[in-house]
Amino acid sequence: MNYPNGKKVKTQHATNKNSPQDRFSNRGMTLEKDINETNKYYLSRGLCVIHKKPTPVQIVKVDYPKRSAAVIKEAYFKQASTTDYNGLYKGRYIDFEAKETKNKTSFPLSNFHQHQIEHMEDIVRHEGICFVIIRFQVYNESYIFPAVKLFPYWHRQFKDGRKSIPYSAVKDEGTLIPAGYPALVDYLTIVDEIFF
């Protein structure tokens, strides 16, 4: 897989699930699975329409070892992705990113890219609902952290500021999302508190 600038991205084939490389490649997938299940539940109840955005990919080379099996040998990301999820809730546009960390004391800002921050700033400027769901795996805690609270941390890091958001700041400035069933990450209850 290649980015638009031609940079190669390593793909994994049959890797050992216990290898550090495999564990690193699957980080964030638990939170995304939980959010996807929550979104299915919300949709089935008619509460909102929020979906995970697909990453646009341009397939360049495909091998056909058998008629019934095609193997993608080369592909490029068409463009940089923005945030993970978007949709509508109570007549308003909603857009958010989901991030997970194993870190106990802080959330590294390196989990974000400049284009994602710019996208979120555009959403806020147009009065959309925009936030990040941050999960601290070691505590099994997920927080809604509004985008407007993320921006100062992001910009401060380029002026000799710290390169992470302290766990204590996420707890103080964010809001803990209740975990339950069938809404595994019941973020709409917090969206109601913060944005409505």
Other beta carbons within 10 Å of 124: 17
CA–CA separation, 27 and 92 (whole Å): 30
List CB contacts of 70: < 8 A, sequence separation 6 or more.
62, 63, 64
What is the spatial distance between Cα 171 and Cα 104, in angstroms, rounded to a whole number? Answer: 12
Q: Is 82 annotated as ligand-binding?
A: yes
| Residue 97 annotated as part of some ligand binding site | yes
DSSP-assigned states of every residue in 115-146: HHHHHHHHHHHTT-EEEEEEEEGGGTEEEEEE
How remote is the C-alpha of 28 from its chain's centroid? 8
Collapsed DSSP state (helix, strand, coil) of residue 45: coil
Please, what is the Cα angle at 51 between 134 and 35, to 5 degrees? Answer: 35
Q: Are 16 and 22 in contact (CB under 8 A)?
A: yes
Residues in binding site for Mg(2+): 82, 84, 97, 116
Residues in binding site: 82, 84, 97, 116
